[in-house]
Amino acid sequence: MTEVVLRDAATVMLVRDRADADGFEVFMLRRNLNSDFVGGAYVFPGGAVDEADRHADLGAVCRGRSDDQASAMLGVPSGGLAYWVAAIRECFEEAGVLLAYDERGEVMSFTDPEVQERFVAHRAAVDSGALRLVELCEREGLQLAVDRIHYFSHWITPVGPPRRYDTRFFVTAVPPQQVPVHDDRETIANRWVAPEEALALHDKGELDLIFPTIKNLEALVRFRSSAELLAAAAAIEEVPTVLPRITADEHGVRILLPGDPGYDEAINPPPSGSVSVRR
């Protein structure tokens, strides 16, 4: 059997308080139906950590967290800052939201039509690889707002699927003067939704969600506001790694989490087939 490479990835949950009700919402994107990875599912902005995200010169354009600090938070020897950078880049590419400070030290605003038009072009250039995020920062006098982005959870794809990711989930407030919008390429729709509503829609078969997304939404439900969520996330000292396992029995194919009955025995991938998510 060919060994599947475990790829580093970063995902960011953008949140905001609801305007017409209590609670808060999270921003979600629908993957292109033709995508070879979770096509049609609603996900948070994110993707693989690229080599460009790991360059040493990125430290100079990141505010509030050094690579040593980021690496210690993630429990890796070095290179931890790349996950924050990847989360910011993917959020910009997929959702059009740039988590950065402008040259005045203020959170980026796209209310000026000229600035918005310029950054639409920057978004396309970063997405195509024609412009590195560090180059954009140098050109526009920006610093990436890594201090506003909080590490929330750590999920590793179980053995078995043809693609496996070592994914760090982050959470941050959406900049008030930016409007997220899908890229209409990798993603084809977007929506703001309360975590409990997303889970209810999934239960009714009206919103396609993958397992880590479901579990992170379940973790969000216990918070009453975005401020409460962000304060709790900022105070987290240790994030456990979650490595689900897939098992097959008389009830079908199931995903098990650490601590579930049968988890320790589920060491081999099951025969190929669909995985049913049981909550």
DSSP string, 187-220: EEEEEEE-HHHHHHHHHTTSS---HHHHHHHHHH
- Rounded Cα distance between 17 and 33, Å, is 30
**Same domain for 232 and 252?**
no
- pTM greater than 0.75: yes
DSSP structure class, residue 62: B
pLDDT digits (tens, 9 = 90+) for 149-181: 999 999 999 887 788 899 999 999 999 999 999
In this prediction, residue 268 carries a pLDDT of 54
**Same domain for 198 and 169?**
yes
- Residue 1: inside a domain: no
- Residue 232: inside a domain: yes
For β-strands 100-101 and 46-48, DSSP reports them as unpaired
**Same domain for 124 and 256?**
no
Return the closest-CA partner of residue 9 out of 83, 111, 75.
Answer: 83
**Same domain for 84 and 137?**
yes
Q: How confident is the model at residue 148 (pLDDT cuts 50, 70, 90)?
A: very high
**Same domain for 137 and 156?**
yes
In this prediction, residue 33 carries a pLDDT of 82
**Same domain for 75 and 154?**
yes
Q: Please answer whether residues 155 and 147 qualify as being in contact, where contact means their C-beta atoms are separated by less than 8 angstroms.
A: no
- Count of the separate structural domains present in the chain: 2
Enclosing domain of residue 152: 6-241
